[in-house]
Amino acid sequence: MDSNEFRHWSVKAAEWGVDYRAGLRDRPVRPKVEPGQVLNAIAASPPEAAEPMEAIFADFEATIVPGMTHWQHPRFFAYFPANAAPVSVVAEYLVSAMAAQCMLWQTSPAATELETRVVDWLRQALGLPTDFSGVIQDSASSATLAAVLTMRERTLDWQGNKSGLAGAPRLRIYCSEHVHTSIDRAIWVAGIGEENLVRIPTGGRYRAMSTQALDAAIAKDREQGFLPAGVIACVGGTSVGGTDDIATVVDVARRHGLYTHVDAAWAGSAMICPEFRHFWAGVDGADSIVFNPHKWLGAQFDCSIQFIRDPESLVRTLAIRPEFLKTQGREGITNYSEWSVPLGRRFRALKLWFLLRAHGLEGLRTMIRNHVSWSGKLADRLGREPDFEITSVPMLSLFSFRHAPAGVIDLDQHNLALVEAINRDGRIYLTQTRVDGRAVIRFQAGQFEATEADVDKAFEVITELARQK
């Protein structure tokens, strides 16, 4: 591709993106394709001869786009959002054009220094104290893995990486039943073993882990010869927004000399609004915190911030320093690849810089406040409808409900069939979960372009399709 063609197709791609976004409301949120349909539409062998871009682009439109789930659709109410504000897409065009690998300060000084600056902007935006610094990870899963590895190394006096875990006392990590399964995976990958992830029972309005039970479990494990290493608390769990009492968790963990990691992957974005910070009161005492601006804030996927109180222990756990990665003659530089599991890293800070400047914190706060308010109103409306039951109270903009008409014997089946009917209809997109053993339907408002009318449409679709069941 020569420069003229590159210009032509770059402009075409950018224009396509603008038209795509503008037309999203007219598309079904979830595509109407069957498994294997896209696979079968793609040539089974790679082309030997070059093909014209016209043909490639036409196939993209004809084969790929109809098979996409539209995460930027304003009526995407499933999972958690993965918002990509248009301004962050523009930043990503620039990042793709430069295509820098930003593993070390010297492999792109501007990327490193902008990362330092925007992570600190976010620290201020979330109301965190100056003793936190941070890094942009590719995902909350990676950030939690880095935190678990740090817990492991601190507890084993930095011998785990060297000697392995064989022969060491069994480490223990504590969390509630509401943490994301990425925590389980971090425990597997760190070699700690799922049996050593101790689930503390939860209760109360936001299903917080019992801190008395946490305290007792740590003490009992010590008596029995285990090595307690850390606690993973959650703020805004994925299923129904489970939220721990962070201040008390931190207090218990500190008394036992344990590290606390807080997973606020989704809810963290809402902490730019001071009125929501009570949900993580006490977070100042945590050792690390993860939140994903790629979820609710609007920074195009992927963009996950890990705040850390003591980056030295993270670097001591993860840094690799072969000769070919050393930077000669520079003191005091930061090499962010020493703060994360992957060596190679994309330039993720640019989209945050563009986003924060183009919208300002006040613009982003308005969006989040609207989502929380619209979702609360929808929960009230659904709760007043005959045969609907709210099964978990709104935590920020997330709640769950169930349709429970008289005479239906298998309500789990009924609700799973309802969510499938809603998603097949295509006007909105929802997902299911289990609350207290029962199948329920989740709703979260969080899409960057959503309006109150989109949330009203959700009410219309849910009640209309429930009545047809």
Closest CA to 351 of 339, 359, 343: 359
**Contact call for residues 358 and 436 (beta carbons, < 8 A):** no
The nearer residue to ligand PLP, 25 or 277, going by C-beta atoms, is 277
Beta-bridge partner residues of 400: 392, 442
Residue 192 or 461: which CB sits closer to ligand PLP?
192
Using the minimum distance from each CB to ligand PLP, give the nearer residue, 87 or 140: 140
State the nearest-atom distance from the C-beta of 269 to ligand PLP, in Å: 12
| Smallest separation, CB 289 to ligand PLP (Å) | 12
Amino acid identity, position 306: Q
To the nearest whole angstrom, how small is the minimum distance from the Cβ of residue 139 to ligand PLP?
A: 3
Q: Which is nearer to ligand PLP, 80 or 307 (CB)?
A: 80
Nearest to ligand PLP of 74, 241 (CB atom)? 241
Q: In the complex, what is the shortest distance from the CB of residue 270 to ligand PLP, in angstroms, rounded to a whole number?
A: 13
Residues in the site for ligand PLP, rule: CB under 6 A? 80, 139-141, 180, 182, 237-238, 263, 265-266, 292, 304
The DSSP string of 182-245 is HHHHHHHHTT--GGGEEEEPEETTTTEEPHHHHHHHHHHHHHTT-EEEEEEEEBS-TTT--B--
- The number of residues making up the chain comes to 469
Shorter beta-carbon distance to ligand PLP: residue 111 or 136: 136
Cβ 142 to ligand PLP shortest distance, Å? 7
Report d(CA 197, CA 187) in Å as an integer.
Answer: 7
Q: CA 375 → CA 73, 168, 381, 408, distances in Å?
A: 17, 49, 10, 27
Is the Cβ of residue 265 or residue 458 nearer to ligand PLP in the bound state? Answer: 265
Greatest alpha-carbon pair distance for the chain in Å reads 77
Q: Region of 345 please: left (phi>0), alpha (psi -120 to 50) or beta.
A: beta
DSSP letters, 5-61, are HHHHHHHHHHHHHHHHHHTGGGS-SS----TTHHHHHS-SS--SS---HHHHHHHII
Give the nearest distance from C-beta 52 to ligand PLP in angstroms: 37
SS3 444: strand
CB of 137 to ligand PLP, least distance (A): 8
